[in-house]
A and B are shown apart, each in its own frame.
Chain A
Amino acid sequence: MAVEVKLPRLGQGMEAGTIVRWLKSEGEAVSKGEPLYELDTDKVTQEVEAEADGVLLKIVLPEGEADVGTTVAILGSEGEDVSELIAGAQGGNGGAPAAAADEAASEPAKSRAEEPRSGSEPQGSLAAPARRPGERVKASPLARRIARERGIDLAALTGTGPDGRIIAEDVEQGVAAPAPAAAPAAVPAGEVEIVELTSVRKTIARRLTEAWQAPVFQLTVTANAVELVATRERMVELLREGEVKPTVNDVLTRVVASALVRHRPVNATFVDGKLQRYPGANVGIAVAAPSGLIVPVIRDADRKSVQRIAADRADLVSRARDGKLQLADLEGGTFTISNLGMYGIEQFIAVLNPPQVAILAVGSIEDRPHAIDGKLEIAPTLTLTLTCDHRAIDGSEGAEFLRTVKQFVESPALAL
């Protein structure tokens, strides 16, 4: 039976290698242990031996770089039809489209092998994951567990085990791979602060890296905040003893919540590959806690008074700063607001908070030139930037939501 010759991992940390030249030609018989090709790694160049007896039926990768586990040749018995294997190797290695694979499968292997090699062979893309779309991912139970625990997508990995199986080391390598450590700059000892990542920091890193993969787009509006500020001031005036003083952000949370329940495509999360759109708004508010960014959730914000939201917010923020939040305080959010206005940031782009599909970045409220009724006036304005996950939301849906938010900011009474 024909076997695929795969690029081996010759040492810890080896991710890829470059085939310098083949020591056997197609059609030549090889025995197990005989040098087959020369492989250049970042450390050494060495001869790689055949792992089985047979005839070298096909050299898939004549020369060039490929990832560990990539099929570089097919070994089998003379005259054996390996067209499917070749198609699989080429298609699976990420190159040939399905049509080409079909074509290859329908041709006898021999004639194909005898064809002069055209320049269109997918050498450059051989490094892609060795799997066809929709093909089952082969992974050991241990590899699956590690991937599950660390939230790693197995489909993105290349397996170096038998038959391309992903084994534990591939997952470990796969995690380590995206962060090729740049050589540390030469700094005198004692001046560099080494910060071990806390588990919170690691979670932030993992979730935000994950979020960064999403195809997102941003929409920005600038709103006149006169009414918003006035409303908040009036509320503070009417404050009863013992009540928490509402902030502009509390009022904003309330009006955004109202906008969310009117625009459910934005008030949604991904669950098991499906979208769940919610009738009520649980609004997460990004808080800078000592341990790092954390997003406690104000539940049913669309049905709470601003006063109640302020009370909830004060409780959550103080507990966040004391590190006393419960898991329940952080779960169930349907949307997130991130406000950096208090730092004077005029506008910014927030990164998605998965599985939510949108997040609102709120800038500072400041007196700025603003056109009102055709005249240039000075008015307090704020800039709102909505980040949308395009897998869930189209531009028009995001725009409609943001238009409503702007209306509510400019006339908070409309949010009732």
Chain B
Amino acid sequence: MPELTYREAVRDALARALREDDGVFLMGEDIAEMGGSMAVTQGLLEEFGPQRIRNTPISEMAIVGSGIGAALQGMRPVVEIMYEDFLTLSMEQLVNQAAKHRTMSGGQLKVPLTVRTQGGAGWSPGAQHAQQLEAWFVHVPGLKVVFASTPEDVRGLLWSSIYDDNPVVFFEHRTLYPIKGEVPEELEPIPLGKARVHREGTDVTVVATGRLVHESLAAAEQAEADGISVEVVDPRTLLPLDEETIVESVKKTTRCVTAHEAVTRGGFGAELAAVIQHGAFDYLDAPIERVGSKFAPLPFAPVMEQHVVPHAADVLEAIKKTVARA
């Protein structure tokens, strides 16, 4: 199987969709000649030309708004919001328009729009360029929300998002772009709403998203050395959520840790905890532990940033808490 970086996997999915379907086109800030601020769209302008790889003015509201218009007209636009922090500027379009048209029109309209964006700490981007805001969108009926953590997943899920007839907010993580992983020769679409069990275990389930999937896998290795068997599950799609896989896993292990880089309070882990306590109440042998960033704007200073965001050690500590004796 070929090996791709996460960045190349995103690019591969985009290029294949652009080749497959004339209705697919890209819009975003500096995505054409410059290849995007994260170099994801490099080389696409050369292959597909300026009609389909379009630079936009610096207006997130206009980027998403025009994407909605094109989607309503039958195109499958993929728009890029350079940093997910800037999604805040497009909230009106995403929340009040994209998410609502299909139901408000009684199904006469549909919005097959994909909004790609990225975020995440670990490289001192400061408080306004590294937030993890995925939980905001999970609260909005009419949207789908994806957060992929591996090259294989990001490619298969992006393909499915582009071909989904609903608006999808597609989160990528800045620090995952260089990681490498095997992907199938042929692109295999990964259905939205299907979790992935990365590692099987019997003592505690860690439900993790984004970068924390990798931190959790590292924590699981360390826990193994202490005789604790950890199962790691990545929901991959936050909305719709594969509740069954997650609940069944916790029923098996009887303990659970949720882990994401977003701040803990009001984070997606809270939703997971609610789903799990309801679905697996009689199976829980310990309170569900949540791992996330400390409740603070992300500091610029590297040492402070490292202090605020969670790492494998935090996941390991939470794992140990769930299996703790007195």
Partners in one complex: yes
Option from A4, A7, A140 in Cβ contact (under 8 Å) with B286: A140
Q: Is the CB of A162 within 8 A of B324?
A: yes
Q: Does chain B have a CB within 8 A of A167? A: yes
| Interface locus among A141-149, A243-251, A304-312, A344-352 | A141-149
Residues from chain A with a CB closer than 8 A to the CB of B136 are none
What residue of chain B has the Cβ atom nearest to residue A6's Cβ? B326
Contact with A along B270-287 (1 / 0, CB 8 A): 000000000001111110
A164 to B325: give the CA distance in the assembly, Å: 9
Q: Does B254 contact A (CB under 8 A)?
A: yes
Task: Please give, as numbers and ranges, the residues of chain B lying within 8 Å of A140 by CB-CB distance.
Answer: 284-286
Contact A145 B326 (CB under 8 A): no
Task: Find out whether the CB atom of A141 lies under 8 angstroms from the CB atom of B326.
Answer: no
Taking a contact as CB atoms under 8 Å apart, the answer to whether A141 and B325 are in contact is: no
- A161, CB-defined interface residue at 8 Å: yes
Residue A332 at the chain B interface, CB threshold 8 Å: no
Q: How far is the CB of A126 from chain B (nearest CB, A)?
A: 15
Per the CB 8 Å criterion, the residue count for chain B at the interface is: 11
Take A142-B254, A168-B254 as given contacts and tell me if A160 and B283 are in contact as well, using a CB distance cutoff of 8 Å: no
Interface residue range, chain A: 20 to 34
Segment 3-53 of A: residues with Cβ below 8 Å from B: 4, 6-9
Q: Which of B282, B286, B325 has the most CB of A within 10 A?
A: B325
Residues of B within 8 A of A174 (CB): none
Most chain B CB within 10 A, of A142, A143, A145, is at: A142
Per the bound structure, the CA–CA distance linking A163 and B285 in Å amounts to 14
A398 in the interface (beta carbon within 8 A): no
Residue in B254, B281, B282, B286 whose beta carbon sits within 8 Å of that of A161 in the complex: B286
Distance of A56 Cα from B286 Cα, bound (Å): 28
Verify B284–A161 contact, CB threshold 8 A.
no
- Give complex CA distance A140, B286 in Å: 6
Q: Tell me how far the C-beta of B275 lies from the nearest C-beta in chain A, rounded to whole angstroms.
A: 15
> Could you tell me the distance in whole angstroms from the C-beta of A68 to the nearest C-beta in chain B?
8
A69 within 8 A of B: yes
For window 265-309 of chain B, which residues contact chain A by CB distance below 8 Å? 281-286
Kindly list chain A residues whose C-beta atoms are within 8 Å of the C-beta of B284. Answer: 140-142
Tell me which residues across on chain A come within 8 A of B285, comparing CB atoms. Answer: 140-143, 167-168
Within A121-170, which residues are at the interface with B (CB < 8 Å)? Answer: 140-145, 159-164, 167-168
Select B326's contact among A142, A144, A160, beta carbons within 8 Å: A160
CA distance A144 to B254 in the complex (A): 13
User: Given A142-B254, A168-B254, do A161 and B283 touch, yes or no (CB 8 Å)?
Assistant: no
Shortest CB distance A160–B (Å): 5
Say whether A142 contacts B325, CB under 8 Å.
no
Q: Which residue of B is nearest A159, CB measured?
A: B326
Minimal Cβ-Cβ distance residue in B for A167:
B285
Give the residues from 60 to 89 in chain B that come closer than 8 angstroms, CB to CB, to chain A.
none
Report chain A residues within 8 Å CB of B326.
4, 6-8, 69, 159-164
- CB-CB < 8 A to A8: which residues of B? 325-326
Residues of A in contact with B (beta carbons under 8 Å apart) = 4, 6-9, 68-69, 140-145, 159-164, 167-168
Give 6 nearest A-B pairs by CB, closest first. Answer: A6-B326, A142-B285, A145-B282, A140-B285, A168-B285, A141-B284
Give me 16 A-to-B residue pairs in the complex whose CB atoms sit less than 8 angstroms apart, sorted by A's number: A6-B326, A8-B326, A68-B325, A140-B284, A140-B285, A140-B286, A141-B281, A141-B284, A142-B285, A145-B283, A160-B326, A161-B286, A161-B324, A161-B325, A163-B326, A167-B286
